Amino acid sequence: MSNSELSSKYETVIGLEVHIQLKTNRKVFAPENFTFGSPPNQHVSPVSMAHPGALPSPNLKCIEHIVKLGLAIGCEIAPNSYFARKNYFYPDLPKGYQLSQDTLPVVGEGEMDIYVDGKVKKSIQIERIHLEEDAGKSIHDIHPSQSLIDLNRAGVGLAELVTKPDLRSAQEAGAFLAEIRRIVRYLQISDGNMEEGSLRCDANVSVMPKGSDTYGTRVEIKNINSISQVIKAITYESGRQMKAVDRGEALVQETRTWDVSKGKTAPMRDKETADDYRYFPEPDLQPIKISEAKIEEIKAEIPRLPQSRFLQYVEEYKIAKNEAQTLADQREFSDYFEALIPFTDSPKTAANWVLGPVRTWLNEHNKDISKFPIKEKKLGDLSQLVKSGKVNLNAAKEIIFPRLCENPKENPETIAQENDLIMESAENELQDAMEALIEKFPAEVKKYRGGKKNLAGFFVGQLMRQFKGKANPKEVNEVVRKLLDS
Ligand code: ADP
Ligand code: MG
């Protein structure tokens, strides 16, 4: 059976477990900080190495971050929650247990909207978001016969967000992750960088006959490190399961790894169950209590989120969806766009400037908007010069804009004057010039009047050349036709 036949017969069910590395100045229970890419074992302390007698001390910033995320998504916040030990033995986990949360996480249930392909809206139930510490890293590919351990990452604070099995396609899973990444970046609680591991995702995948209400056996896929790979891994795995189920084979619940180079998932281990971890409350840490006042304080710090901005740009400003998406994608970029609007004649004009010359400049200089030199008001002044017909758009983009980027203190109109770019909009000047041309090219005039209407372009070209791009093309066209047709 072909893939498309299979996917018309079966449905894919996906639940995601997303790990978000929290950006703070120290690990979640240990005093030292961690930066990606440091030499191994530079960011360790007796706490993260689990020396006897070393005690954890919670980083309250991590708790605030996770509450902020929960509030932004619209989840319940637990006024009381506690830490638990999740016991397992692995060389990169010195304590022999991970500090995590079990039955009572800081953030409880909620619901988040996603837009698949920027279009179809879907609500995804969130099961929980809990706080936990990261493990270190085992490195198997440096030494020929030994595994090496790097504990830099051990103890770094993570938010683990778990969805209900509500996603129904690889594309929906991709859209969900992209939304989470946008939100954590807006909230400035994480870099959200999948390549550097500050955003990681395990995908639980199962298949069932279309229309069924009983989920199939699920497989958990680990080690996926970009959104495009998440989409590929889920697509591969659901195809594999559909084929197996269609042949009548029983699937086993297991953990599989995603092999990027082969483009396949492969068995890793049998799935642990909660019992295997022997969770129990952490005796060295107090329960987490969060007051109403604290929740209000954190709520007040949440900026307007990308989805609400996106919807406003599309619905109110009538900006195309893909452009609205680009504008809303990054908080600082979107802030700049919004601040520019009042200085221009319309949100569309502001969007054109930001998505055009501004974005091109940022790409060429490999900078983000926080390093963009022109203040909103000044760029607004430039756009108004164009709007009022004093300068043509091309001259504004190609000559004045780059000059402003180099000398952001200069005045756009002064630059226009210095470069002789102020348009001679006086209609009679154009008319005089056109009358002279009519005398100069009688044969062309005759042909035009005899029906060769495209000769108007010849006169427009002559005039534009004469006025060296300072004339407004629309006005030139009008004058040419008016005089030729009279
Ligand atoms: P565990 O405790 O074993 O980790 P959970 O119930 O916490 O299992 O579920 C982990 C993830 O697996 C969640 O994201 C959940 O939505 C997802 N999940 C559960 N059942 C299925 C299923 N049948 N198919 C796909 N995903 C599932
Ligand atoms: Mg789980």
Cα angle 418, 423, 426; round to 5? 135
| Contact 168 CB / ligand 1 (< 6 Å) | no
| Contact 21 CB / ligand 1 (< 6 Å) | no
- C-beta separation of 360 from 388 below 8 A: no
Per DSSP, helices labelled H in 81-192 are 170-186
Strand 254-259 versus strand 219-224 pairing type: parallel
| Contact 344 CB / ligand 1 (< 6 Å) | no
| Contact 251 CB / ligand 1 (< 6 Å) | no
Torsion of CA 122, 125, 128, 129, to 10 degrees: 10
Spans of the chain below 50 pLDDT: none
Reference 158, options 33, 17, 22, 16; nearest CA is 22
Q: Report which ligand 1 atom has the smallest distance to the Cα of 17.
A: 14
Own/partner contacts of 247-255, CB < 8 Å, gap of 24 or more, are 250/217, 251/206, 251/216, 251/217, 251/219, 252/217, 253/217, 253/218, 253/219, 254/219, 254/220, 255/219, 255/220, 255/221, 255/222
| Contact 274 CB / ligand 1 (< 6 Å) | yes
Burial (CB count <10 Å: 0-12, 13-18, 19+), residue 457: exposed
Give the integer Cα–Cα distance in Å for 221 and 218.
10
Distance 302 CA to ligand 2 centre (A): 28
- C-beta separation of 30 from 48 below 8 A: yes
Structural element, H or E, at residue 348: helix 347-353
Distance 209 CA to ligand 2 centre (A): 25
Distance 204 CA to ligand 1 centre (A): 6
Q: Report which ligand 1 atom has the smallest distance to the Cα of 204.
A: 26
What pLDDT does 475 receive? 84
Q: Which residue has the tokens 């069924």?
A: 212
Question: pTM of the full predicted structure?
Answer: 0.86
- C-beta separation of 216 from 245 below 8 A: yes
The β-bridge partners of 87 are 97
What pLDDT does 271 receive? 64
| Contact 215 CB / ligand 1 (< 6 Å) | yes
Q: Give Rg (Cα) of the chain.
A: 31
Residue closest via CA to ligand 1's atom 22 equals 218
| Contact 17 CB / ligand 1 (< 6 Å) | yes
Q: Which residue has the tokens 């200085």?
A: 343
Reference 33, options 8, 7, 61; nearest CA is 61
> Which amino acid, residue 206?
S
Q: Report which ligand 1 atom has the smallest distance to the Cα of 273.
A: 3
What pLDDT does 1 receive? 77
Residue range 169-194, pLDDT digits in tens:
999 999 999 999 999 999 999 999 99
Residue range 255-271, pLDDT digits in tens:
999 999 999 999 987 76
Sequential DSSP letters for 3-40: HHHHHHHEEEEEEEEEEEE---SS-SSSS----TTPPT
> Which amino acid, residue 167?
L
- C-beta separation of 131 from 27 below 8 A: no
| Contact 13 CB / ligand 1 (< 6 Å) | yes
CB neighbour list of residue 355: distance below 8 Å, 6 or more residues apart: 323, 326, 327
| Contact 109 CB / ligand 1 (< 6 Å) | no
- The structure tokens listed for 277 are 């971890």
Q: How far apart are the first and last CA of the chain?
A: 72
Three-class DSSP category at 286: coil
Distance 277 CA to ligand 2 centre (A): 11
Burial (CB count <10 Å: 0-12, 13-18, 19+), residue 9: middle
Q: Report which ligand 1 atom has the smallest distance to the Cα of 217.
A: 23
Number of residues that make up the chain: 486
Cα angle 46, 51, 52; round to 5? 135
Reference 273, options 126, 94, 86, 17; nearest CA is 86
Q: Which residue has the tokens 């209407």?
A: 453
Ligand closest to 271 (CA) is 1
Residue closest via CA to ligand 1's atom 6 equals 164
* DSSP 8-class letter at 86: E
- C-beta separation of 237 from 169 below 8 A: no
Distance 42 CA to ligand 2 centre (A): 31
Sequential DSSP letters for 228-282: HHHHHHHHHHHHHHHHHHHTTPPPPPEEEEEETTTTEEEEEEEPP-HHHH--EE-
Q: Report which ligand 1 atom has the smallest distance to the Cα of 220.
A: 12
Three-class DSSP category at 150: strand
